[in-house]
């Protein structure tokens, strides 16, 4: 018997109106079936949006501290269920169990952070030129917010979008990615236990083209928050613009690390491996371009290759595994096609490059950790997001050229530099085109209390998380009061 999971609409678990289902399998072992999720239609999305609409006035009128109580409770319940949720995440999209558990702990912390936000100030008093008047700002929620999320952070991203939406008084309808839907449904079981009023939180599982599109184009949805690929993000942004609603898009990256000649090369190699290959390279902030000053190029490459050769690939539930499989067959195919492209373009494979198919790998979507040498900046593997365990080594003549090469892409999410030179650190902070700037630390690293988002094609230029979330999930009213 395979488990069935359901949509959550108006406080009820429900199968979709289509009665169609999608089977969810484990990318580490395709014989392992996690269950079936509804392949919903636009009708289900409409129902969920209607429920969120009905609930919005009462939720908005509740005090911030009272809304915060629900988030505190949700944090407690998630904390109590974190092992099961992390295990589900590993089975559903392949991330190793320690990483999945770390992410779930982060989900708990995000809920607590925004629960507290319910007690913090929501406006400012501004001196009016009329001495008898009070002028101040208040923040209004948008109303019904549509949340569309990717599969690579199945707990953190849905929570870092929903928690601020809710605390500032919005109701939500989420369409999680097909590839991470069961994990999202398990989060909703926690939210249900936390007792949110009917209709405040709703989940509809289904494809992006049907359910995602139905949310994006529905007249009742007043804001869309999206994380995912650049292609889909652009479409969503255009739809939102047509209707004149607020939208927030966080998209891909092609994140560089710069290794200068003054760098601690061991530290830089460890951080490059961790930033580039943890989560099988499937983080939007993952390092994918490794730009190394020529004086230390060979020495750094040797250290990097040594560390890559020590990586243990396997099922993320095994304790010995450091890197799991690709999250799906289409991810695997995409990674392999980029590896092929890299070879065709003349880059030199110096580690990995193949699918793993022997023994316990036979039933999973495994690929070797891969490193290309002699990559030039015009190659597709140096320009396009691969979203897999592939590093591209690029040689630079000096620090200035390293920055030029680093900026020579359309994306601008995260970037890191390894240097002991303070002037270089300062120049890097100023000149690098990235929303997350990391000095002597890996490119992947996000703290929930700080703003997060990209520059250039990586983002719609709004920021998520921390206090920055308030800017997206509310509108400011400037109030002038005269007695």
- Can you tell me whether residue 146 is helix, strand or coil? strand
Site for ligand NAP in 241-300 (CB under 6 A): 250-253, 284
- 389 within 8 A of 335, measured Cβ to Cβ: yes
Establish if 416 lies at the interface with ligand NAP (CB under 6 A): no
Site for ligand NAP in 431-460 (CB under 6 A): 454, 458
Q: How far is the CB of 314 from ligand NAP (least distance, A)?
A: 23
Distance CA 77, CA 331 (A): 32
Among 235, 262, 407, 462, binds ligand NAP (CB under 6 A): 235
Establish if 228 lies at the interface with ligand NAP (CB under 6 A): yes
- 315 within 8 A of 28, measured Cβ to Cβ: yes
**Two tokens, residue 130:** 């009329």
Separation of first and last alpha carbons in the chain: 69
At residue 334, what are phi and psi to the nearest 5 degrees?
-65, -45
When the beta carbons of 90 and 255 are compared against ligand NAP, the nearer one is 255
Q: Is 250 a catalytic residue?
A: yes
Of 99, 284, 368, 464, which one is the catalytic site residue? Answer: 284
Q: Is 433 a catalytic residue?
A: no
Of 99, 103, 210, 250, which one is the catalytic site residue? Answer: 250
**Two tokens, residue 231:** 């292609």
Among 413, 417, 434, 448, binds ligand NAP (CB under 6 A): 413
Q: How far is the CB of 136 from ligand NAP (least distance, A)?
A: 33
- With residues binned 3-state (H G I as helix, E B as strand, rest as coil), the percentages for the chain, rounded to 5, are 45, 25, 35
Half-sphere exposure of 340 (CA within 13 A, CB side): 7
When the beta carbons of 186 and 303 are compared against ligand NAP, the nearer one is 186
Among 50, 51, 148, 263, binds ligand NAP (CB under 6 A): 148
What are the residue ranges of helices labelled H in 310-421? 329-345, 380-383, 399-407
Distance CA 395, CA 477 (A): 52
Which residue number is nearest to ligand NAP in terms of Cβ?
A: 208
Q: Per-residue string for binding with ligand NAP, 181-220, x by CB under 6 A?
A: --------------------------xxx--xx--x----
When the beta carbons of 88 and 260 are compared against ligand NAP, the nearer one is 88
When the beta carbons of 118 and 176 are compared against ligand NAP, the nearer one is 176
What single string gives the DSSP state of each residue in 40-101? --HHHHHHHHHHHHHHHHHHHHS-HHHHHHHHHHHHHHHHHTHHHHHHHHHHHH---HHHHH
Distance CA 333, CA 356 (A): 13
Site for ligand NAP in 91-120 (CB under 6 A): none
Q: Per-residue string for binding with ligand NAP, 350-379, x by CB under 6 A?
A: ------------------------------
Residues in contact with ligand NAP by the rule CB under 6 A: 148-153, 175, 177-178, 207-209, 212-213, 216, 227-229, 232, 235-236, 250-253, 284, 385, 387, 413, 454, 458
Active site residues: 250, 284
């Amino acid at each position: 018997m395979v488990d069935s999971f359901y949509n959550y609409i108006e406080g009820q678990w429900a199968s979709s109106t289509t009665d169609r289902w999608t089977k969810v399998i484990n990318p580490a072992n395709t014989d392992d079936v996690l269950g079936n999720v509804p392949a919903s239609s636009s009708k289900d999305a409409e129902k969920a949006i209607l429920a969120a609409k009905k609930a919005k006035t009462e939720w908005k009128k509740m005090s911030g501290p009272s809304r915060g109580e629900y988030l505190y409770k949700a944090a407690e319940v998630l904390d109590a269920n974190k092992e099961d949720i992390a295990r589900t995440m590993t089975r559903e999209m392949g991330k190793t169990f320690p990483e999945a558990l770390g992410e779930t702990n982060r989900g708990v912390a995000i809920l607590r952070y925004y629960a507290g936000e319910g007690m913090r100030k929501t406006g400012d008093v501004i001196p009016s030129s009329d001495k008898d008047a009070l002028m101040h700002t208040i923040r209004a929620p948008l109303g019904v917010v549509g949340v569309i999320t990717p599969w690579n952070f199945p707990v953190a991203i849905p929570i870092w979008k929903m928690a601020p939406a809710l605390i500032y008084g919005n109701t939500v309808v989420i369409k999680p990615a097909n590839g991470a839907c069961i994990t999202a449904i398990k989060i909703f079981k926690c939210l249900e236990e936390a007792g949110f009023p009917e209709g405040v939180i709703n989940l509809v599982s289904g494809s992006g083209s049907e359910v995602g599109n139905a949310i994006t184009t529905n007249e009742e949805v007043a804001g869309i928050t999206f994380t995912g690929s650049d292609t889909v993000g652009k479409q969503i942004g255009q739809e939102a613009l047509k209707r004149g609603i607020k939208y927030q898009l966080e998209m891909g990256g092609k994140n560089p690390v710069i290794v200068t000649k003054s760098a601690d090369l061991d530290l830089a190699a460890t951080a490059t491996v961790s930033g580039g290959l943890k989560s099988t390279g499937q983080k939007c902030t993952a390092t994918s371009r490794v730009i190394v000053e020529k004086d230390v190029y060979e020495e750094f490459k040797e250290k990097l290759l040594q560390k890559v050769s020590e990586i243990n690939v396997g099922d993320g539930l095994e304790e010995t595994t450091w890197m799991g499989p690709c999250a799906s067959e289409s991810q695997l195919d995409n990674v392999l096609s980029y590896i092929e492209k890299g070879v065709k373009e003349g880059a030199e494979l110096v580690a990995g490059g193949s699918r793993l198919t022997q023994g316990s790998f036979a039933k999973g979507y495994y690929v070797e950790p891969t490193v290309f040498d002699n990559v030039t900046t015009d190659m597709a593997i140096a320009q396009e997001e691969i979203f897999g365990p592939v590093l591209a080594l690029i040689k630079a003549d000096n620090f200035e050229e390293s920055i030029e090469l680093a900026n020579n892409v359309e994306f601008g999410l995260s970037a890191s530099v390894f240097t002991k030179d303070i002037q270089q650190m300062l120049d890097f902070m100023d000149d690098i085109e990235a929303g997350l700037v990391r000095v002597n630390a890996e490119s992947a690293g996000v703290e929930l209390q700080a703003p997060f988002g990209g520059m250039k094609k990586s983002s719609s230029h709004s920021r998520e998380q921390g206090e920055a979330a308030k800017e997206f999930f509310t509108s400011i009213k400037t109030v002038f009061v005269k007695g």
